[in-house]
Amino acid sequence: MSGLMVWTGRSAAQTATDPSPVPSLKQLSLDELLDIEVTSVSRRPEKLSETASAIQVITGDDIRRAGATSLPEALRLASNLEVAQIDSRQWAISARGFNGSSANKLLVLMDGRTLYSPLHAAVFWDVQDTLLEDVARIEVISGPGATQWGANAVNGVINITTKSAKDTQGLLVEGGGGSALSGFGGVRYGGTLAPGVYYRIYGKYTGLDSTRLLNGGDGANDSAMRQGGFRVDWDATADNLLTLQGDVYAGRIGQPGAADIEVRGANVLGRWTRTLSGRSSFSLQWYYDHTYRRIPGTFAEDLGTYDVDFQHRFTLGDRHDIIWGAGYRLIDDQQHNDYPVLAFLPADVARGSFNVFAQDEITLVPDRLHLTFGTKLEHNFYTGFELEPSSRLAWLVSKEQTVWAAVSRAVRTPSRIDGEFYAPRDPPFTLLQGNPNFLSEELLAYEFGWRVQPRPQLALALAAFYNDYDRLRSVERVNPATPLPFYLGNGTEGRSTGVELTADYRVTNSWRLRAGFTQTHLHLHNTPGSTAAAPTDDDPEHQFSVRSSVDLPGHWTVDTSYRFVARLTNSHVPAYDEADLSVGWTPTPALEFSVVGQNLLHARHAEFNAPASRQEIARSGYGKITWRF
């Protein structure tokens, strides 16, 4: 299991966004690491060792020690994810298969704000950023989480939580540069506005060099991004916590043979958490998120998202811990359709969706057996009502051992690209025609897990799954007798099976080893009557990783990691292995120097895409200085 952190708070909603500072490697025993609390599984605090889900936690200290400079790089620390770098700006990230640059079965949140785009139900990773020093932890669930988080939480959930403004007081300045990472810098200052009112502001810059083509040529995808933001936390009373935060960003990304891609955006989020009694609390959250992206020669989009979410938690007697809530989201999407190659029709839409959910954790046997069941009911523009129930059972065999099982239903609701995407822009649409009858993709998942601590220094975890998929997206012919035009349909189904293993070993108080192994088999086929080609996937059947973290005398730290990823059969990407090294020195509590080497085993290697569009990731390194005052 990944590095973990201790966290306490007044309610499930508050603790999800107000974690305690991360202790150093020497401060926590393995027992304490396994007793930390997480919220992503059930939207309430529960011990990691007792959760009925396959979950790993990446702490801010893990990110700092590993030398990660972006959120996708940080996600490599979770062995239950598939993380592949496509080029300098694009990543393919998924859990339990279906990976791609537009992977659409993974829900990603940052401080409660959804990051996936309704345009294609995937994440534009090139604009998802924050000051990584302010990340408290990242909870990574492999497996469905739709009952708690809704549609698109099909194969996994990534929940990124930043620190409270109270925990980021004072001045922080960081900067550095190297080869692939040409230059970066960040400044953050935290203070108080009044007693109990804490704030922080930050700004950062990141410049990336281009990756290389297979022939060694320049990929022409260098980029420069600027971002700033703020957060205010107000402990209004002993029972009320208010949070207001926001970000703004802008940048440009190169693309071969065309003008630079232009991106910009801004968001603001507010949250009120109130403790009603020792047995009851609620939270109310709202946010607005605006994004703009122009890819010259392809498309341009203005997207505004308005979201409000309420949840109430209370206990009923000694055996029932109940959470219920409701939410509403409105998207205002404006497609410019400036270029003749494609169009989204209608160009401008404003669409709302709403949901209600309820969940009950029942204590069947105190401190031994817990059953959690619940469901979420959602309504969306394309398919109407969707029901997403789940049931999870956790058996605490002993203090050192937990066995769990789960059955869940999740859906991936249609995006604009599924039903409203046309090519070329103007009729007749000789290449692609939209499909207003596209249905939600469905998953019925069966999971089993086991956690055991056979020795005080060693913890092991196993998760196995069987996923049954129906109505998956397929590329169908409008006229079966001709190859074009085509449309997106629901003519594929299949199943996947797999296992995930993790090990966490404290060799000494100052040396920690962590390892992870995943194996996934995906079997897809077309349904009767489908005109689509035989379905394929681009996922490694297995991958393995190991990390070593060592604290040395004289305030030195050395972190190394190794990963092996099996070949991608469909796109003919060879299997590869790589290693990273991060060395840090903290001569004073206020000053830290670090040197990081990435992808050290090979001069260049590929991780994703077919040969015609493939780019290679080069060996690289950078230096960094961080000053805290």
The tokens for 106 are: 């993974």
Query: What residue has token string 């204590």?
Result: 363
Q: Does residue 4 form part of some domain?
A: no
With respect to residue 510, please indicate whether it lies within any of the assigned structural domains.
yes
On whether residue 126 sits in a domain, the answer given is yes
Confidence of residue 352 (pLDDT cuts 50, 70, 90): very high
Question: Is a pLDDT exceeding 60 seen at residue 515?
Answer: yes
Q: Between β-strands 542-552 and 258-277, what pairing exists: parallel, antiparallel or unpaired?
A: unpaired
Q: Quick one: DSSP state of residue 122?
A: B
Res. 9: pLDDT tops 50: no
Q: How far apart are CA 124 and CA 157, in angstroms?
A: 16
Give me the domain span that covers residue 518: 12-628
Contact predicate 72/85, CB 8 Å: yes
- Does 530 fall in a domain? yes
Q: Does any domain span residue 7?
A: no
Buried-state track 314-333, b at ≥16 Cβ within 10 A, e below 16 = eeeeeeebbbbbebebebeb
Counting the structural domains of the chain, the total is 1
Strand partners of residue 616: 212, 606
pLDDT of residue 511: 96
- CA-to-CA separations, 180 to 204, 222, 315, 599, in angstroms, rounded: 18, 9, 52, 11
pLDDT at 15 over 50: no
- Cα separation, 359 vs 364, whole angstroms: 15
What CA–CA distance (Å, rounded) separates 302 from 298?
A: 14
Residue range 253-273: mean pLDDT, rounded: 96
Residue 24's pLDDT is 52
Is residue 434 a part of any domain in this protein?
A: yes
**Residue 281 CB contacts under 8 Å (≥ 6 apart), including other chains:** 10, 11, 12, 13, 14, 273, 274, 275, 312, 313, 314
Give φ, ψ of 166 to 5 degrees.
Answer: -65, -30
**Which residue type is seen at 132?**
L
Nearest CA to 387 among 416, 353, 419, 356? 356
DSSP 77-115: T-TTSEEEE-SSS-EEEESSS--STT--SEEEEETTEE-
Contacts of 564 (CB under 8 A, 6+ apart): 543, 544, 545, 575, 576, 577
pLDDT above 90 (res 443): yes
In a domain, 349, yes or no: yes
**CB contact at 8 A, 372 and 358:** no
The stretch 53-66 carries a mean pLDDT of: 95
Q: pLDDT at position 22, please? A: 38
Does residue 425 form part of some domain? yes
Instruction: Please say if the pLDDT value at position 4 is more than 90.
Output: no
User: What phi and psi, each to the nearest 5 degrees, are found at residue 232?
Assistant: -130, 130
| CA 203 to chain CA mean position, Å | 22
Question: Which tens digits make up the pLDDT trace of 598-627?
Answer: 999 999 999 999 888 899 999 999 999 999
The mean of the pLDDT values for the chain is 93
Q: Give yes or no for residue 362 having a pLDDT over 90.
A: yes
Neighbours of 596 (CB within 10 A): 22
What does 234-298 look like in DSSP terms, one character per residue?
A: EEEETTEEEEEEEEEEEEEEEETTEEEEEEEEEEEEEEEEEEEETTEEEEEEEEEEEEEEEETTT
Q: Give phi and psi for 71, each to the nearest 5.
A: -65, -45
Whole-prediction pTM: 0.94
CA dist 112 and 109 (Å) reads 6
Instruction: Please compute the mean of the pLDDT values over residues 152-166 and round it to a whole number.
Output: 97
Q: Which two tokens stand for residue 173?
A: 């300045």
Residue type (1 letter), 240: N
Write down the pLDDT at residue 7. Answer: 29
Confidence at 27, pLDDT banded by 50, 70, 90: low
Instruction: Quote the pLDDT of residue 28.
Output: 63
Per-residue confidence (pLDDT) for residue 103, from 0 to 100:
94
| Token digits of residue 31 | 């027992």
Are 218 and 242 contacting, i.e. CB atoms less than 8 angstroms apart?
A: no
Q: Report how far residue 201's alpha carbon sits from residue 377's, in angstroms, rounded to the nearest whole number.
A: 38
374-383 pLDDT, tens digit each? 999 999 999 9
Measured distance CA(156)–CA(47) in Å, rounded: 19
Tell me whether the omega of the peptide bond preceding residue 427 falls within 30 degrees of 0, making it cis.
no
pLDDT of residue 599: 98
SS (H, E, C) 143-167: CCCHHHHCCCCCCEEEEEEECCHHH
CA angle 221-225-229, nearest 5°?
Answer: 155
DSSP 295-315: ETTTEEEEEEEEEEEEEEEEE
| CA–CA dist 59, 66 (Å, integer) | 11
Q: What is the CATH number of the domain that holds 108?
A: 2.40.170.20
Closest CA to 331 of 353, 346, 350: 350
Distance between CA 325 and CA 310 in Å, rounded? 5
